[in-house]
Amino acid sequence: MERFIFLVDSFSAWIGKAFAWCILILTVGVAYEVFVRYALRDPTSWAFDMSYMMYGSLFMMGGAYTLSRDGHVRGDVLYRLWPPKVQASIEASLYFLFFFPGILAFIFAGADYAGESWSYNYGTGEVSINSPANVPISQFKTIIPVAGGLLLLQGLAQVLRCVVCLKTGKWPEHLEDVEEMEIALLQTGEDELAMRENRDPRKMTAEDRG
């Protein structure tokens, strides 16, 4: 089970980080549009379509990656106070009650939505009505069921993570990843304090960090 969790987490991370490049394309495209619109008085006909496609792709395809890092919003006022086995049992139940039914509906509805888009214009695909550039958008709508499939796969890994926790009493470790700046700075400060005291930072207590 842990091997499967690791493989799915790694795959979700690869997909998420690959689509993270959309933010660079979005930034360059918007900057170019602002320049030609206000400096050259010659706005593009494609920038708006490009902007929502890049942002939408980034948002949708990053969902499984965020789930693998336990990064989605959680109302943990009570959750964080429970022992790991209680957390795992509640979380696994909620996955089957809400997550999987919702994701399956999302996949099937998204597949129909994408299929209709590809059938437009005698099978050549739908184009955007938001600009005169006739930007194809069928491939963008196909991202909906694909993102749903990735979330479903990651959801299976999360359920197995719950099973491991129920067996061992502790949550499996997540893959190491980038940290928020304040967390990185805090860890750096703890490491420097440990070095000054010639102590292993992993053995520091809460009082030492205080």
Residues 42 and 125 in one domain: yes
Residues 24 and 96 in one domain: yes
- Chain CA centroid to CA 108, Å: 20
Report pTM: 0.82
Range of the domain at 109: 2-178
Residues 29 and 102 in one domain: yes
Residues 58 and 150 in one domain: yes
pLDDT in tens, the chain (210 residues): 889 999 999 999 999 999 999 999 999 999 999 999 999 999 998 999 999 999 999 999 999 999 998 888 887 788 888 999 999 999 999 999 999 999 999 999 999 999 999 998 777 889 988 888 889 999 999 999 999 999 999 999 999 999 999 999 999 888 877 666 666 677 777 777 777 766 555 555 555 555
Residues 101 and 185 in one domain: no
* Number of structural domains the chain divides into: 2
What residues have CB less than 8 Å from 104, skipping those under 6 apart?
152
Residues 126 and 193 in one domain: no
Sign of the four-CA dihedral 5, 7, 11, 13: positive
Residues 40 and 144 in one domain: yes
Distance between CA 166 and CA 117 in Å, rounded? 44
- Residue closest to 146 by CA, chosen among 51, 11, 48, 29: 11
What residues have CB less than 8 Å from 128, skipping those under 6 apart?
49, 134, 135, 136, 137
Residues 130 and 198 in one domain: no
List b or e across 133-162, with b for residues whose CB sees 16 or more CB atoms inside 10 angstroms.
Answer: eebbbbebbbbbbbbbbbbbbbbebbbbbb
Residues 93 and 70 in one domain: yes
The angle that helices 84-94 and 138-168 make with each other, rounded to 10 degrees, is 140
